[in-house]
Amino acid sequence: MISPELLRRYSFFGRLNEDQVKAIAMIADINTIEAEKTLFEEGQPAKFFYLLLEGGITLLQIGREIPPMARKEFHVGVINPGEVFSLSALMSRTS
């Protein structure tokens, strides 16, 4: 659990009412991720929704070529402190 006051500092949560902010705070955790760690890869289902508090996240697209071990990284963007990402984790899945 994190404090609802922490969430209120960020504009993404600005339109939520008090109960909604508290509900998110109760299920949220603060984690430290080591540099150069891959959080997720394209095509994987999003398991977590993220709010970046400090540091930065580089978004890369990995191009695979022949031979299979060759790969190229293409810079797509950067996530900065205060920004959210992996929003699809919030969407409900229906079949």
pLDDT tens digit string along 15-72? 999 999 999 999 999 999 999 898 888 888 888 999 999 999 999 888 766 666 666 7
pLDDT at residue 63 in the model: 75
26 plus 39 within the same structural domain: no
Same domain for 26 and 13 = yes
10 SS3 class: coil
- How far the first Cα of the chain sits from its last, in Å, is 31
Residues 38 and 19 in one domain: no
Residues spanned by the domain of 55 = 34-95
What pLDDT was estimated at residue 8?
95
Supply the pLDDT for residue 94.
Answer: 55
Q: What is the pLDDT of residues 73-86, one digit of tens each?
A: 888 899 999 999 99
Assess whether 59 and 92 both reside in one domain: yes
* Model confidence, pTM: 0.77
pLDDT at 95: 47
Q: Verify that 26 and 40 share a domain, yes or no.
A: no
Q: Looking at the structure, do residues 71 and 95 belong to the same domain, yes or no? A: yes
- What per-residue confidence (pLDDT) applies to 52? 95
Number of domains in the chain: 2
DSSP 46: P
Domain match, 23 and 39 both: no
